[in-house]
Amino acid sequence: MKELTVKACLWPDVVRVREEDRPKGRANGSTVYAVFRDGELSADFCGVATHHDISLHPGWIFADLVEHRKLAAVPVGAGIRTALKTMRKHGMEVLAVMSRDEFVGVVTRESILQALLERDRQLLLESVRLRDIAEENHRQTVIWVERLAALNEAARSLLGVLARTSIETELLQAGLDALRKLLDADFGAIGIVDEHGGMAEFIYSGISEAQAKQIGELPQGKGLLGVVIEEDISLRLSDMRSDPRSIGFPPHHPPMKSLLAVPISRHGRVYGRIYLCDKVGGEAFSANDEELAASFAHSLSLVIDNAREMEEVKRARQRLDYMAHFDALTDLPNRTLLTDRALQFIARAQRKREVVAFLFLDLDNFKTINDSFGHTVGDELLREVAKRIASCLREGDTPARMGGDEFIIMLPGIKDSLDAAKVAVKILGLLNEPFVINQHQIYSRASIGISVFPENSGNLDELLAQADSALYHAKKLGKNNYQFFTSEMNSTAQRYLQLEHHLRCALGQGELSLYYQPQVQIDSRAVIGMEALLRWHSPTLGMVMPDQFIGLAEETGLIVPIGEWVLRTACEQAQCWRETGTPVRVAVNLSGRQFQDFQHQRGLLDVVATVLAETGLPAELLELEITESIMMRDVDTTLATLQGLKRLGVRISVDDFGTGYSSLSYLKRFPLDTLKIDKAFVKDVSTDDSDRAIVAAITAMAGQLKLELVAEGIEDLEQLVFLSGQRCNYGQGYYFSKPVPVEQATALLKPGALSE
């Protein structure tokens, strides 16, 4: 620190006097008198006199006082240390301060002390000021560090947004959050409008979701935010409420004062706006803030512009792609797409050994309809036909329009050609219903030609040509029908569909009946049960055996009502036998579909309980036969169902045992009563060692599991003798009786009817 000079310590209370002047009255304690020789007072400095000198010599004039006191002086540039040393040396309290022989003033010990104190005070003040400045600088630095971090984040978000070709909400959100932080705003939002002016995106920052919901619709054209979009201008208001345009502001918007809103626009197209409200601390938004927000909005507009352009290109591409693959009139796939898909499906079907059918459909009277009603009606008819065709197909099927009134329907992954025939029947049935177009009732029928991969060919062109040729055949046969490419396929389909048609009426028309086959105790020949076996006497088809129609009944779902009828009829009959003094249990077969549907719909337990209650048959006189494969299909559900049946008191037997894949552990867990050895093992049991071994094993196992064992298909004595020797106690088969109508079965119940 620089040393103080005497110049900075001049005593303030100095009175200039002349030599001849006499001190007036009592001298002031602090006054120092500077004594000059002449009247000019600026030169001829003689010396100084203090109040002490005056009080010592009250009668003296200043000349005497000066004469008495020795003059001690220091130059104006001397340091205070020199001054104090001089004072000490001369034993003085006051020194004159001179500049080149001219009097400048005086210094005293006190004035030096005061100057030193003043300097310290100044230093203290300065250090406080500097500390304040340092603190302020630190605060500013912290703010700037935060701002830089926010800026960095905003820049990163912006770069993120810019790197995208589509607007992603999270990125917009990050950008907005960073911008709000950067500009110290309480609340901010980005609204993006779609092509029709609706709100496509609304992203907000600084308010809750509930508040954001209240803001509601985009105030387009209304209020300040609407103005930003409508007029493509920025707004920077310190008090938005004083602006009359704020009237249209959303009523539930969080209260706010200052507003900064910038449009997101490019080349006159406004995509939306960004707005920020209420700077933290109540300041207004600055021009810098506006510049920053505008630059963010500008970047955003580039991205949106780009994204929308890409969207447009994508849509145009999709349109072109659609036009290349779809028929403009019906929206169905066209020949190109059908060919593509057909080649793929044929290749797949080859690998997976699947069946694919091609149905070539042509309207029978389209030309007449076109000529009579005009092309508009014709076009509408084709559209309706397309809809009806599509309505009867499964998801993987492809209906295609080849042009004119020609359609091809590809059915991949079907079971066999019969499936194709069924779809053809469905389509023809639907097209036979009248169409109402422009108030005209139009009857348009169709013909279909069918070819099937791999049965007819492995080549797509050939398959289509074959379907076309079959269509030609259908037309020649009088139209409104379908034809396969080969005559064998036609007759198989015809037979099957005929069977289905008749089976649908069989139950209602009383064509079904039950035959009964006795189950016999081998030793005593006593009838211990009767198996109910379904028979169909069709007036058209004659006697149809269950093997020929049970599968069809399962496929069509007819097995459910038919199965319930069988159960009820068998129970009624058993109850009748019981009431007439020959009680015997009745065994009823349950098919897989029946077991499943009963479980999922009304519930097998409900059905059985209801039938038992309504017929009055005790549950122990009913045995339900299920096969191993049904049992193992859904083990948990089966177990629950079987346990339920057991609780009702019904007996359970496993039919055709040995042909399926039963897990022996399940056999133990399931509540079973009877195993029925399949007739396939019984057939050669007298001659075939393997069959003998199997039968012996099953017999031993049934014994261990304490299950009743019935051997099926016993046709001769040798089989009977072998089985009897194996301790198989019960049997069923032609040896005892074929399945017979109820009257004959009743006769078999008489004691001794089956005795040798």
Ligand X SMILES: Nc1nc2c(ncn2[C@@H]2O[C@H](COP(=O)(O)O[C@H]3[C@@H](O)[C@H](n4cnc5c(=O)[nH]c(N)nc54)O[C@@H]3COP(=O)(O)O)[C@@H](O)[C@H]2O)c(=O)[nH]1
CB of 693 to ligand X, least distance (A): 21
* Binding test (CB under 6 A) with ligand X, winner from 451, 517, 569, 615: 517
Under rule CB under 6 A, residue 551 binds ligand X: no
Site size for ligand X (CB under 6 A): 23
* Binding test (CB under 6 A) with ligand X, winner from 713, 720, 746, 749: 713
Under rule CB under 6 A, residue 715 binds ligand X: yes
How far does the chain reach from its first CA to its final CA, in angstroms?
143
CB of 494 to ligand X, least distance (A): 24
* Binding test (CB under 6 A) with ligand X, winner from 547, 636, 743, 756: 547
Give the residue with the Cβ less far from ligand X, 193 or 682: 682
Under rule CB under 6 A, residue 733 binds ligand X: yes
* Binding test (CB under 6 A) with ligand X, winner from 182, 534, 560, 626: 534
Give the residue with the Cβ less far from ligand X, 242 or 687: 687
CB of 560 to ligand X, least distance (A): 11
Give the residue with the Cβ less far from ligand X, 433 or 547: 547
Site string for ligand X, 465-504 (x = CB under 6 A): ----------------------------------------
Amino acid at 416: D
Give the residue with the Cβ less far from ligand X, 369 or 720: 720
Q: Are 529 and 586 in contact (CB under 8 A)?
A: yes
Give the residue with the Cβ less far from ligand X, 487 or 548: 548
Give the SS3 label for residue 702: helix
Task: Please say whether the dihedral angle defined by the alpha carbons of residues 299, 305, 306 and 308, taken in this order, is positive or negative.
Answer: positive
* Binding test (CB under 6 A) with ligand X, winner from 364, 500, 511, 531: 531
Nearest-angstrom CA–CA distance, 379 and 366: 10
Give the residue with the Cβ less far from ligand X, 14 or 650: 650
> Starting at the edge strand that comes first in sequence, how are the strands of the sheet with 45-50 ordered?
14-18, 32-36, 45-50
CB of 752 to ligand X, least distance (A): 21
CB of 679 to ligand X, least distance (A): 6
For the beta carbon of residue 397, count every other beta carbon within 10 angstroms.
18
CB of 415 to ligand X, least distance (A): 20
Give the residue with the Cβ less far from ligand X, 474 or 682: 682
CB of 749 to ligand X, least distance (A): 18
Give the residue with the Cβ less far from ligand X, 227 or 567: 567
Q: Are 417 and 489 in contact (CB under 8 A)?
A: yes
CB of 523 to ligand X, least distance (A): 19
Residue by residue, DSSP assigns 665-696 as: HHHHHS---EEEE-HHHHHTTTT-HHHHHHHH
CB of 705 to ligand X, least distance (A): 20
What lies within 8 Å, CB to CB, of 338 at 6+ separation is 398, 400, 402, 408, 410
Of the candidates 128, 125, 122, 183, the one whose C-alpha atom is nearest the C-alpha of residue 151 is 183
Joined together, the tokens standing for residue 250 give 């959303």
CB of 352 to ligand X, least distance (A): 30
Give the residue with the Cβ less far from ligand X, 112 or 654: 654
Nearest-angstrom CA–CA distance, 260 and 234: 7
Give the residue with the Cβ less far from ligand X, 386 or 588: 588
Give the residue with the Cβ less far from ligand X, 278 or 564: 564
Kindly report the backbone phi and psi dihedral angles of residue 200, in degrees, each rounded to the nearest multiple of 5, phi listed first.
-90, -40
435-464: contacts with ligand X (CB under 6 A): none
Give the residue with the Cβ less far from ligand X, 260 or 514: 514
CB of 549 to ligand X, least distance (A): 9
Report the number of secondary-structure helices (H) and strands (E) in the chain. 25, 27
Under rule CB under 6 A, residue 628 binds ligand X: no
Nearest-angstrom CA–CA distance, 691 and 698: 10
* Binding test (CB under 6 A) with ligand X, winner from 27, 566, 645, 652: 566
Kindly report the backbone phi and psi dihedral angles of residue 147, in degrees, each rounded to the nearest multiple of 5, phi listed first.
-65, -40
Q: What does the angle CA 311 – CA 178 – CA 302 come to, to the nearest 5 degrees? A: 30
Residue in this structure with the two tokens 């020959």, named with its chain if needed:
582
For the beta carbon of residue 465, count every other beta carbon within 10 angstroms.
15
Pick the stretch among 35-43, 228-236, 290-298, 712-720 that binds ligand X (CB under 6 A).
712-720
Pick the stretch among 81-89, 184-192, 431-439, 543-551 that binds ligand X (CB under 6 A).
543-551
> Starting at the edge strand that comes first in sequence, how are the strands of the sheet with 199-205 ordered?
199-205, 185-193, 269-279, 259-266, 235-237
Q: Please tell me the number of Cα atoms within 13 Å of 743 on its side-chain side.
A: 0
Under rule CB under 6 A, residue 734 binds ligand X: yes
CB of 739 to ligand X, least distance (A): 5
Give the residue with the Cβ less far from ligand X, 101 or 547: 547
Of the candidates 76, 50, 62, 67, the one whose C-alpha atom is nearest the C-alpha of residue 20 is 62
Nearest-angstrom CA–CA distance, 346 and 27: 133
Query: By CB neighbour count within 10 A (0-12 exposed, 13-18 middle, 19+ buried), where does 417 fall?
Result: buried
Amino acid at 424: A
* Binding test (CB under 6 A) with ligand X, winner from 739, 746, 748, 754: 739
CB of 402 to ligand X, least distance (A): 45
For the beta carbon of residue 438, count every other beta carbon within 10 angstroms.
10
CB of 532 to ligand X, least distance (A): 6
Under rule CB under 6 A, residue 555 binds ligand X: no
Pick the stretch among 210-218, 296-304, 526-534, 690-698 that binds ligand X (CB under 6 A).
526-534
Q: Are 639 and 669 in contact (CB under 8 A)?
A: yes
Under rule CB under 6 A, residue 737 binds ligand X: no
Q: What does the angle CA 730 – CA 517 – CA 673 come to, to the nearest 5 degrees? A: 45
CB of 541 to ligand X, least distance (A): 15
Q: What is the per-residue burial (b if ≥16 Cβ within 10 Å, else e) of 539-571?
A: eebeebebeebbebbbeeebbbebbbebbbbbb
CB of 627 to ligand X, least distance (A): 8
Of the candidates 641, 725, 624, the one whose C-alpha atom is nearest the C-alpha of residue 676 is 624
Under rule CB under 6 A, residue 698 binds ligand X: no
Question: In whole angstroms, how far apart are CA 480 and each of 206, 430, 466, 492?
Answer: 70, 12, 18, 19
Pick the stretch among 243-251, 574-582, 666-674, 711-719 that binds ligand X (CB under 6 A).
711-719
Under rule CB under 6 A, residue 550 binds ligand X: yes
644-683: contacts with ligand X (CB under 6 A): 655-656, 679
For the beta carbon of residue 613, count every other beta carbon within 10 angstroms.
10
* Binding test (CB under 6 A) with ligand X, winner from 533, 558, 677, 754: 533
Nearest-angstrom CA–CA distance, 48 and 71: 7
128-187: contacts with ligand X (CB under 6 A): none
Site string for ligand X, 573-612 (x = CB under 6 A): ----------------xxx--x------------------
Pick the stretch among 235-243, 366-374, 443-451, 542-550 that binds ligand X (CB under 6 A).
542-550
Nearest-angstrom CA–CA distance, 224 and 320: 43
Contact residues for ligand X, defined by CB under 6 A: 517, 531, 533-534, 545-547, 550, 566, 589-591, 594, 655-656, 679, 712-715, 733-734, 739
